[in-house]
Structure 1
Amino acid sequence: MNITRENIDELNAIVKVDIAKDDYSGNVDKILKDYRKNANIPGFRKGHVPMGMVQKQYGKAVLVDEVNKLLQDALNKYLTEEKLDVLGNPLPKEQENFDWNQENYSFEFELGLSPQFDVNLETKKPITHYNIVAGEKMIDDQVKHIQKQYGKLVSKDVAEEGDVVAGTFKNEEEEIENQTSFSLDKLKGKKNLNKFVGAKVGDTVSLNTKGLFEDDHQLMELLKVEHDKAHGLDVEVEFIISEINTQELAELNQELFDKLFPNQEVKSVDDLKEKIKEDAAKQFKQQSDQQLLNDVTEALIENNEFDLPKEFLQKWIQTVGEKPLTEDEAKEEYDKSEKGLRFQLIEGKLISENDLQVKFEELKSFSTDRIKEQMAQFGQMDPSQKELDDIAARVLSNQDEVKRLSEQMMNEKLLGFYKENIKLEEKEVTYEDFVKEIYK
């Protein structure tokens, strides 16, 4: 067997694999002899079928199979030994008048080579790293939410804005009849709200389901209709009021503070607000870090220009899926995925050159830390090391979990690397301003 390579340019090459009869004949003969031993052909005793008949019936299929196995093994070994960094997979070149009846064969493969480049971390301008904080309105809303959550419902006779009404939705024709309760705050539009304000227990309120709530999905729960029916549902329903309650807010006192934060120093409303602010900052950190990863990704793609074997990749995309694509479809798919491919190459180079690979011991420790955090949420503050190790072993035996945790850990490693090596500009914003700025 002989393998040679011709470099077309820096990004494209042709590999030629020559296979001689001596390379495959031994395996083919052995397989055919095994077939002969086990073949059941009428008129012949088992093991006594003429080899010519076995050759005629199975010879071509065995030959093709063995040559293809030999070809793939040789090609993979060659790419590994030559340390060729290829994109996609080698594409076999079509050969006219190929004849399996000859003894020696030549195969050619197109290769798309990974470009050579150095990653430039110098961005045109500093990248914003957002420090997202809870604004006063968000904190006040959270305090009010806590008061409602720990408050109590007080029965009343006449409905007002903000009350909770219980009753039954009905429409005989649509077979709707469901007992439920909801806050009047959920209603969309002043017109619908005004139908309830001043209503009493026992009253019937007529409503149209179209635009009754901000989200049609609420009709699924409150009217007990299916998902597809809820979207755009436009029918008249009656709501027979059976109960009216007002939400009496919980008092902001030490008893409530102790329920919310046992064994912690929360002694006043100001302490409560500070605690809410701290907890919100922890939750916002994940969004801030994800946004930083997104912005760094865009900056690195823009900042690192290099050529790709575009025509090769488009040809490869045509063949790689379950269903072959047309040339135009492949071009469209390439255009969609080009930026992602560029970043994969940039990221791979950063990981390799800066030793950011995820090692098993690191993954095990990372997994154990996540398990401890989850157990703490359920009040298990001091699990034994054996218990943690047993759970971690079960988690790491699941390949999907290993992949998910590895991706999380790699993101953390890359995030740390970016924070140390890329010029950032810290910016404190409220969550509302962050949303406006990012999704403007």
Structure 2
Amino acid sequence: MEITLDKHAANEASVKIKLEEADYQSKVDAKIKDYAKKATIKGFRPGKAPFGMVKNLYGTSVLLEEINGILSKSLNDYLKEQEFEVLGDPLPLEEDSQSIDWKKQKEFEFEYKIGFVDKINVNLDQKFDAKNYTVELSDKEVDVALDNIKKQYGKMTNPEESGENDFLYGDLKADDGSYEETLSLPLKDMDGRSVKKFLGVKKGDSISFDPSKAIKGDLAEALNIAKEDAEKLQGNFTFTVQNINRTEEATLDQELFDKVFGPNQVSTEAEFLKKIKTILTENYQKEVTVYNEEQLKESLIKNHPLDLPEDFLKEWLVRANEGKFSKEDVEKEFPAYANQLSWSLLSNQIAKENEIKAEHEDVLEKTKAMIREQLASSGMGSQMEENMDMFLQNYLQGNEGKNYMQMLTAVQNEKVLNFVREQVKPKEEKIGVEKFKELLEN
């Protein structure tokens, strides 16, 4: 057997493997002899058919099977010995297999394309363009959340006359008869001039207006109708009121406190507001933490640009996904894939250099935390701890063991990010919610 490597680019190469008859024939003969002992062929007792006949029947398939096994092992062993990092999987030249005469040839040559990156050097002493943000809530965010809670837990009423923020339920008809729909009209979504027509109206009243001009924002979203229907709402329409719906905000009393946070969790308005702010801060901080991590990753990638074999990787992605993704799909998604691949390569290198490992216990604790969060959000918190072992086992053994490997990778990446953060010490900065939203938009 002869294996040769030809680097024809900084990050792409071809590997050629030449096989002679001595490399495979003994294994092929042994396999055929084994077949002969078990084969049932018409005219012969089981296991008594001549070797030549069995070879004629099964020889080509056995040859293919043995050569593929030799190629796979030899190629993998050879690539493991190289100093560079192989990306994706080796791609066999398709024309090789098409030109082979499996019945007559004794010597074979196979060629594979590979993509790789040379040794990755990580330098954490550079300047990193990343900050570690902490969110601070203002009274505005708490007031908005409080208003939403009071409306969510409020009581629905049907007043005689409409007022601001009411919903008018009724029939919307185009004056030319081209459109008719029964729907709910939210007065809060109407502009200041148009809404005046709808204040003080009663059941049975009819109002003429142009929905496309009167309603602010997205018509389909405001009226809860299909986009194609919303496009028809231009011109003169008449709305006839069937009912008036109003939500009377809940009162800040013990009944509301218990509904929102459970019995006897808070007992005063001050405690209620404090708990709202605490929960909001925790939720926003989770989002900010994810943002901080992504910025740190981006800075690490920016400081360590990797020369990825783009053409090879795009071809590999198309072929590996067996037609699930077209070349156009891969081209569109490749920047995000390349970014994630760069982070993965850098993360693995940092872990290797600094002996950072994800331990089994780390995986268990991270998975438990995830399960607790999911169960708590679905209202099943009371069942949590007593059934935790069952939940844990079901999840980690699910998806043919892939869930465990994903959690293992997540733990290692988390440890690597913590290590990088400790080394580069990004500047701490406190920001408000509005500033955080601006950062997300940019």
Q: Give the TM-score category using the shorter length.
A: 0.7 to 0.9
Task: Give the residue type in structure 2 aligned to 1:137.
Answer: K
C-alpha distance in 2 between matches for 1:332 and 1:314 = 11
Alpha-carbon offset, residue 301 of structure 1? 1.6
Q: Which residue in the other structure is 2:369 paired with?
A: 369
Describe the shift of the 1:406–1:117 C-alpha distance in structure 2 as closer, same or farther (beyond 3 A).
closer
Task: Give the residue type in structure 2 aligned to 1:117.
Answer: I
C-alpha distance in 1 between matches for 2:336 and 2:289 = 25
TM-score, normalised with respect to structure 1: 0.78
Q: Which residue in the other structure is 1:159 paired with?
A: 162
Alpha-carbon offset, residue 284 of structure 1? 0.7
C-alpha distance in 2 between matches for 1:259 and 1:324 = 48
The yes-or-no answer on 1:137 pairing with 2:136 is no
Question: What does 1:369-408 align with in structure 2 at a 5 Å threshold?
Answer: 369-376=369-376, 378=379, 380-381=381-382, 384-385=385-386, 387-399=387-399, 401-402=403-404, 405-406=407-408, 408=410
Task: Give the residue type in structure 2 aligned to 1:267.
Answer: T
Q: 2:91, 2:316 within 8 Å by CA — same for their partners in 1?
A: yes
C-alpha distance in 2 between matches for 1:391 and 1:164 = 44
Alpha-carbon offset, residue 248 of structure 1? 3.0
Work out which of the residue numbers 434, 438, 441 in structure 2 matches 1:436: 438
C-alpha distance in 1 between matches for 2:190 and 2:408 = 45
Number of positions where the alignment pairs a residue of Structure 1 with one of Structure 2: 429
C-alpha distance in 2 between matches for 1:6 and 1:299 = 34
Of all paired residues, the percent bearing the same amino acid is 28
Q: Deviations for 1:206-229, whole angstroms, at most 9, x for unmatched residues?
A: 5656474633443774x5xxx564
Alpha-carbon offset, residue 389 of structure 1? 0.7
C-alpha distance in 1 between matches for 2:406 and 2:370 = 12
Describe the shift of the 1:201–1:97 C-alpha distance in structure 2 as closer, same or farther (beyond 3 A).
closer
C-alpha distance in 1 between matches for 2:231 and 2:243 = 28
RMSD: 4.1
Q: Which residue in the other structure is 2:269 paired with?
A: 268
Q: 1:289, 1:415 within 8 Å by CA — same for their partners in 2?
A: no
Gaps of 5+ in 1: none
C-alpha distance in 1 between matches for 2:365 and 2:29 = 53
Question: What does 1:214-253 align with in structure 2 at a 5 Å threshold?
Answer: 214-218=217-221, 221=224, 227=226, 229-230=228-229, 232-234=231-233, 239-253=239-253
Q: Deviations for 1:378-399, whole angstroms, at most 9, x for unmatched residues?
A: 36458555x2111211122212
Q: 1:317, 1:334 within 8 Å by CA — same for their partners in 2?
A: no
Task: Give the residue type in structure 1 aligned to 2:199.
Answer: V
| SS of alignment partner, residue 38 of structure 1 | coil
Describe the shift of the 1:413–1:252 C-alpha distance in structure 2 as closer, same or farther (beyond 3 A).
same
Q: 1:216, 1:230 within 8 Å by CA — same for their partners in 2?
A: no
Describe the shift of the 1:265–1:383 C-alpha distance in structure 2 as closer, same or farther (beyond 3 A).
same
The yes-or-no answer on 1:360 pairing with 2:360 is yes
Q: 2:18, 2:107 within 8 Å by CA — same for their partners in 1?
A: yes
Alpha-carbon offset, residue 347 of structure 1? 1.8
Q: 1:123, 1:299 within 8 Å by CA — same for their partners in 2?
A: no
Q: Which residue in the other structure is 1:113 paired with?
A: 116
Q: Which residue in the other structure is 1:279 paired with?
A: 279
C-alpha distance in 2 between matches for 1:147 and 1:354 = 52
C-alpha distance in 2 between matches for 1:327 and 1:141 = 47
Q: Which residue in the other structure is 1:202 paired with?
A: 204
Describe the shift of the 1:263–1:354 C-alpha distance in structure 2 as closer, same or farther (beyond 3 A).
farther
Q: 1:126, 1:423 within 8 Å by CA — same for their partners in 2?
A: no
| SS of alignment partner, residue 241 of structure 2 | strand
Moved more, 289-298 or 26-35: 26-35
C-alpha distance in 2 between matches for 1:412 and 1:217 = 42
C-alpha distance in 1 between matches for 2:385 and 2:334 = 51
Task: Give the residue type in structure 1 aligned to 2:72.
Answer: Q
Q: Which residue in the other structure is 1:305 paired with?
A: 305
Alpha-carbon offset, residue 156 of structure 1? 2.4
Describe the shift of the 1:210–1:418 C-alpha distance in structure 2 as closer, same or farther (beyond 3 A).
farther
Moved more, 296-305 or 143-152: 143-152
Alpha-carbon offset, residue 375 of structure 1? 4.3
Q: 1:169, 1:177 within 8 Å by CA — same for their partners in 2?
A: yes
Task: Give the residue type in structure 2 aligned to 1:161.
Answer: E
| SS of alignment partner, residue 165 of structure 2 | coil
Q: 1:152, 1:249 within 8 Å by CA — same for their partners in 2?
A: yes
Alpha-carbon offset, residue 303 of structure 1? 0.9
Task: Give the residue type in structure 2 aligned to 1:91.
Answer: L
Gaps of 5+ in 2: none
Alpha-carbon offset, residue 288 of structure 1? 0.7
Describe the shift of the 1:85–1:419 C-alpha distance in structure 2 as closer, same or farther (beyond 3 A).
closer
C-alpha distance in 2 between matches for 1:402 and 1:216 = 46
TM-score, normalised with respect to structure 2: 0.78
Moved more, 212-221 or 284-293: 212-221
Describe the shift of the 1:364–1:237 C-alpha distance in structure 2 as closer, same or farther (beyond 3 A).
farther
C-alpha distance in 1 between matches for 2:375 and 2:326 = 52
Q: 2:117, 2:306 within 8 Å by CA — same for their partners in 1?
A: no
Q: 2:167, 2:187 within 8 Å by CA — same for their partners in 1?
A: yes
